[in-house]
Amino acid sequence: MSLVTEEIKLKAEIYHGDELCQAKAKELLEEIALPNGLLPLKDIIEVGYNREIGFVWLKQKKSITHKFEKIGRNVSYATEVTAEVEKGKIKKLNGVKAKELLIWLTLNEIYVDDPPTGKITFKAYSGLSRTFPVTAFELEEEKSSGVKDV
C-alpha cells in the first residue's frame, strides 16, 4: 500500500522519467544537505516532493540492492521509498533496509552531524544505529571533460 495519497500529490512537485528523476533526487539531497550518492536508485519512474509538509517519494521499476563500497555495506531500496525530510535529516523513512551481519534492518532515520564534512548516522526501528563518514556516500563529480577525478 502506497503512503503517497492524492492529498499529498495535490500540493507536490512531481517528476517523471529516469533522467529527470535522477537529477531531481540529487537536487533534493543537496537542498537538505545530505550526500548526493545516498539514493542510488535505478529506472526511477516518479519523484515527488510536497514542500509544505516535507514529504518525498521516489518510485522505481523494481527494487534494488546497492553495495556502498567505501563502507562495505549492502542497502536494499524497495520500488517505493518515502520519507519526511528537513535540513540534514530524513525521518519516517520507508522502503530502505540495510544489511547488518546476516540480517536486514529496516531504516527509519538518517541524519548528518556538521554537514558536509561530518558523520552520517543511520537508525533502524530496532534502535540500532551506525555512523559513517559522509564522504562514503558522495558521488565523485565529473569534470566538464567527462573524466572523473581520481
- What would the pLDDT profile of 86-95 be if each residue is shown by its tens digit? 999 999 999 9
Long-range contacts of range 69-74, CB-CB < 8 Å, 24 or more positions apart?
70/133, 70/135, 70/136, 70/137, 71/132, 71/136, 73/98, 73/99, 74/98, 74/99
Q: Check: CB of residue 12 under 8 Å from CB of residue 6.
A: no
149 occurs within a structural domain: no
pLDDT bucket at 133, cuts 50 / 70 / 90: very high
Q: What is the mean pLDDT of the chain?
A: 90
Strand partners, 129: 123
What's the domain range around 40?
6-137
Is residue 144 over pLDDT 80?
no
- The counts of H helices and E strands in the chain are 2, 9
- Supply the pLDDT for residue 113: 85
1 occurs within a structural domain: no
Strand partners, 5: none
* CB neighbourhood size of 70 (10 A): 13
Query: CATH no. for residue 63?
Result: 2.30.240
pTM: 0.87
148 occurs within a structural domain: no
19 occurs within a structural domain: yes
